[in-house]
Amino acid sequence: MTHKNPLALITGSSSGIGIELARVFAEEGFDLVLVARRQAELETLAEELRHAHDIDCTVLPCDLTAPGAISELLNSLPKRPLDVLVNNAGVMQMGGFASDKLERQLQQIHLNVLALTELTHRCLPPMLKRGKGRIVNLASVAAFQPVPYLSVYAATKAYVLSFTEGLSEELKGTGVSCTAVCPGFTDTPMIRGKKHTDKKPNNLPMAVVSDPAFVAREAFSAAMARDVIHVPGMIYKVMSTLSQLPPRFMVRSIAGMFGRRNAKRK
């Protein structure tokens, strides 16, 4: 059976950037597979997108860190080729490493690194066989330098960036591309906190906070252009470039100074 629309799987599509990614892909005529733990949120979004864009939308609730969950997820996929995999699901645990619970830090590595790697590894062979496909990985500007008090989170995003760059070289000439999207602060529950209702997320100046719909549109364009690294927004393009110029000891000392000051304020 042939399908008129290409198919994209988006993880973490129950919230934040993931919801907006689903909206952009739907607007652009993709059928979708929506994945996250919260089924009700996914079903509501799927209903919205089916009505607005006349697309097929499959909801597959899944904890990507549960044993065997990714195999089960992939076995439940619609029986048709996947054109785009968007590894967007991620968590951020803020705080001092030694004082935080080990379990929370390991969970972060499991989702941000292991699940992304496993999904990519399992989705790639059919894409390579067809000579066609796109993988989009949500990294962060935190990938470009160490971030004290977000040490594990930043390290997971450095992994995503490095992995994507390495893999994109391996994929040259195959018809399959891999894109790392590196947003700065974006106005989602990740930085507001689930119950946070203030106008300003996390007391940040609004000038440095991106709109998730903007980030999602930029991510879509970068994936279609087969860019390897994309940083949405001029402020963050400049910041991520500047942060790579000084010697590393200087960058981490400055990051440490800001990190300690912020940690004291909390």
Ligand X SMILES: NC(=O)c1ccc[n+]([C@@H]2O[C@H](COP(=O)([O-])OP(=O)(O)OC[C@H]3O[C@@H](n4cnc5c(N)ncnc54)[C@H](OP(=O)(O)O)[C@@H]3O)[C@@H](O)[C@H]2O)c1
# residues contacting ligand X (CB under 6 A): 29
Determine, following the binding rule CB under 6 A, whether residue 80 of this chain makes contact with ligand X.
no
Nearer to ligand X, 103 or 129 (CB): 103
Determine, following the binding rule CB under 6 A, whether residue 105 of this chain makes contact with ligand X.
no
The answer to whether 149 is a known catalytic residue is no
Determine, following the binding rule CB under 6 A, whether residue 37 of this chain makes contact with ligand X.
yes
Determine, following the binding rule CB under 6 A, whether residue 185 of this chain makes contact with ligand X.
yes
Q: In whole angstroms, how close is the CB of 19 to ligand X at the nearest point?
A: 8
Determine, following the binding rule CB under 6 A, whether residue 236 of this chain makes contact with ligand X.
no
Nearer to ligand X, 140 or 177 (CB): 140
Distance of CA 146 to the CA centre of its chain: 19
Choose the binding region for ligand X from 46-54, 61-69, 127-135, 241-249 (rule: CB under 6 A): 61-69
Of 133, 183, 233, 259, the residue at the interface with ligand X (CB under 6 A) is 183
Choose the binding region for ligand X from 25-33, 60-68, 123-131, 218-226 (rule: CB under 6 A): 60-68
Of 70, 190, 216, 231, the residue at the interface with ligand X (CB under 6 A) is 190
Secondary structure of the chain in HEC code, one letter for each residue = CCCCCCEEEEECCCCHHHHHHHHHHHHCCCEEEEEECCHHHHHHHHHHHHHHHCCCEEEEECCCCCCCHHHHHHHCCCCCCCCEEEECCCCCCCCCCCCCCHHHHHHHHHHHHHHHHHHHHHHHHHHHHHCCEEEEEECCHHHHCCCCCCHHHHHHHHHHHHHHHHHHHHCCCCCEEEEEECCCCECCHHHHCCCCCCCCHHHCCHHHCECHHHHHHHHHHHHHCCCCEECCCHHHHHHHHHCCCCCHHHHHHHHHHHHHHHHHHC
Determine, following the binding rule CB under 6 A, whether residue 16 of this chain makes contact with ligand X.
yes
All residues at 6 or more sequence positions from 141 whose CB lies less than 8 Å from its CB, including other chains: 182, 183, 184, 231, 236, 239, 240
Of 12, 232, 233, 259, the residue at the interface with ligand X (CB under 6 A) is 12
Of 70, 88, 120, 222, the residue at the interface with ligand X (CB under 6 A) is 88
Determine, following the binding rule CB under 6 A, whether residue 122 of this chain makes contact with ligand X.
no
- Kindly list the catalytic residues: 153
Per CB under 6 A, residues contacting ligand X are 11-12, 14-18, 36-38, 62-65, 88-92, 111, 138, 140, 183, 185-186, 188-191
